[in-house]
Amino acid sequence: MKQKVNDIIQALKERYPDALCALHYGKDYELMIAVRLSAQCTDARVNLITPALFQAYPTLETMANADIADVEKYIHSCGFFRQKAKDIVTACQMLLEKYNGHVPNTMEELLQLPGVGRKTANLLLGDLYQVPGSVVCDTHCMRICERLGLSKGRDPEKVEKQLRCILPPDESGDFCHRIVLFGREICTARSPKCMECPLAIYCNEINKA
């Protein structure tokens, strides 16, 4: 398994040398907001929404004091906008009140923020603080890792634990970003491009056919 994981990591590195988060942000709390908006919404759509949102509320203080109904207008097209607007404003208030205006750097503290679950927390820990072992289990990650025989099931927390056991801690964050890129380009949920797949040799779906 160790050799298999290393080979998969190297293949993904060759195809996607820049393992960057697809969400655009300039400040730590802006990434927190962008990730909240991305729930059941594409990153591309979020990146269309956030410039106007961040221009209207250019500081953490202005976002924390924003009228939730006004925030809803900016994020309406990303879905579930009422709950997301409430979570964003409330989370920004908590950052000011409890965390000195900064996104906290521990899983326990992050999970106290409205709208922040383990997936979001792991992304923030990995991208903002380079915390080793940060595993972001989104739909791409769970689907592809199961196909590759790296994990079983579609329970995010269980898959996260499985991947933590086999991924090198210092590679896990970048691995998850690359898996997302791979899932969008090659290993799509529907009609994956198996003939073009650099990981076909490891794929359970291909090899059982």
Among residues 84, 87, 119, 127, which one is catalytic?
119
**Angstrom distance (rounded) from CA 70 to CA 53:** 10
Among residues 179, 40, 45, 48, the alpha carbon closest in space to that of 117 is found at 40
- Nearest-angstrom CA–CA distance, 139 and 128: 22
CB distance 46 to 23 below 8 Å:
yes
Annotation says 67 is catalytic: no
Residues 6+ away with beta carbon under 8 Å from 7: 202
7 noted as active-site residue: no
Return the residue matching tokens 């500081």: 59
| Residue found by looking up tokens 């196909």 in the block | 147
CA distances from 93 to 66, 69, 87, 100, 185 (A): 10, 16, 10, 10, 38
Please, are residues 189 and 143 in contact by the beta-carbon 8 Å criterion? yes
Active site members: 119, 138
